C-alpha cells in the first residue's frame, strides 16, 4: 500500500466515521460497543461513545421520560421525543465530533425509530421519513452494525441483568415486529447496515464484528 505523505503544514487528519449499533433489547450491543471502542482506540482513533435516546443533557432528560415505565404516552409523542433528542444529539455531540475528525459510535440512532416506533408501535413509515428528513436531512451513519438475535434469546438476556424499562416491558410480539423491521431495513440498505448473527457464542460475534470493522473502516 502506498504511504500517504503530507507537505509540512498540510497534514489533514483522516476524517472520522459515524458508526451506529442497533438490535432488539438484549441483543448484546453494549458488550460489543466496548470491543469496538477498543479496536478503534488501538488504531489511534479518537472515539466518542454516545447513545440514543440521550447523549446530551436535554437528551438524557428525554430518555428518562421515554423509558419510565410509569408514563404511558401516545406512539406519536414517543416518536417526536425520540427525534427531538436526536436533533439535540446531532447538534451538540455527533456533528461537532465528526467535524473535528473524531470517530463517533452511537448506541442506537434513527434505525431504532423505524424499528421500534414504526415496526413495534405501527406508526406509518411516511411519518417517520418526514421526521428523519426534518432532523437530519440526508445525513446517515457511515456504518450500522445490527446485532440480530432471536426474540426469546434477547428477552432472557435482559431479564437476567436488570429491571425492565417501558420498552422492555413489551410482549414478545412487539419485539418480533421490531426485529422484522430491522431486518427489512438491513435488506433495503445493505451497504450501510451489516447484520451480525448475535445468537452465536460471544467470541464468534466478536470475530464477525472485527472482520467487518477492519474491512470497511480501517
Ligand atoms: P437501550 O439502548 O436498549 O438501553 P439499555 O441497554 O440501557 O436498555 O434502551 C433504549 C430504548 O429506547 C430501547 O428499548 C429502544 C428504545 N428506542 C426507541 O424506541 N426508538 C428510538 O429511536 C431509540 C433511539 C430508542
With a CB cutoff of 8 Å and minimum separation 6, the contacts of 150 are 199
Residue 6: what pLDDT?
39
Nearest atom in ligand 1 to 108's CA: 24
Residues with CB under 6 A from ligand 1: 25, 30, 52-53, 82, 107-108, 112-113, 116-117, 165, 167
How much of the chain, in percent, has pLDDT values that exceed 70? 93
How far apart, in whole angstroms, are the C-alpha atoms of residue 119 and residue 153? 19
- Give residue 14 CA to ligand 1 midpoint distance, Å: 31
Distances (CA, A) of 136 to 108, 129, 132, 139, 195: 15, 10, 6, 5, 23
**pTM (2 d.p.):** 0.92
Does residue 156 or residue 84 have the better pLDDT?
A: 84
**Would the pLDDT of 8 be above 50?**
no
**Residue range 170-195: mean pLDDT, rounded:** 97
Per-residue pLDDT tens for 43-84? 999 999 999 999 999 999 999 999 999 999 999 999 999 999
Amino acid at each position: 500500500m502506498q504511504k500517504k505523505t503530507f507537505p509540512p503544514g498540510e497534514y489533514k487528519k483522516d476524517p472520522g466515521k459515524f458508526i451506529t449499533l442497533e438490535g432488539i433489547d438484549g441483543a448484546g450491543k453494549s458488550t460489543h460497543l466496548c470491543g469496538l471502542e477498543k479496536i478503534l482506540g488501538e488504531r489511534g482513533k479518537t472515539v466518542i461513545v454516545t447513545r440514543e435516546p440521550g447523549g446530551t443533557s436535554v437528551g438524557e432528560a428525554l430518555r428518562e421520560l421515554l423509558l419510565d415505565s410509569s408514563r404511558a404516552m401516545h406512539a406519536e409523542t414517543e416518536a417526536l421525543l425520540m427525534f427531538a433528542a436526536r436533533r439535540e444529539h446531532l447538534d451538540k455531540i455527533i456533528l461537532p465530533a465528526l467535524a473535528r475528525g473524531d470517530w463517533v459510535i452511537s448506541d442506537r440512532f434513527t434505525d431504532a425509530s423505524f424499528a421500534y416506533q414504526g415496526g413495534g408501535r405501527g406508526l406509518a413509515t411516511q411519518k417517520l421519513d418526514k421526521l428523519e428528513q426534518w432532523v437530519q436531512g440526508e445525513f446517515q451513519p457511515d456504518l450500522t452494525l445490527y446485532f440480530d438475535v432471536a426474540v426469546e434469546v434477547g428477552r432472557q438476556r435482559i431479564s437476567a441483568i436488570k429491571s425492565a424499562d417501558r420498552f422492555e416491558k413489551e410482549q414478545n410480539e412487539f419485539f418480533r415486529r421490531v426485529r422484522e423491521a430491522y431486518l427489512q431495513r438491513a435488506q433495503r440498505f445493505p451497504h450501510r447496515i451489516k447484520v451480525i448473527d448475535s445468537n452465536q457464542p460471544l467470541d464468534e460475534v466478536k470475530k464477525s464484528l472485527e472482520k467487518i470493522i477492519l474491512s470497511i473502516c480501517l
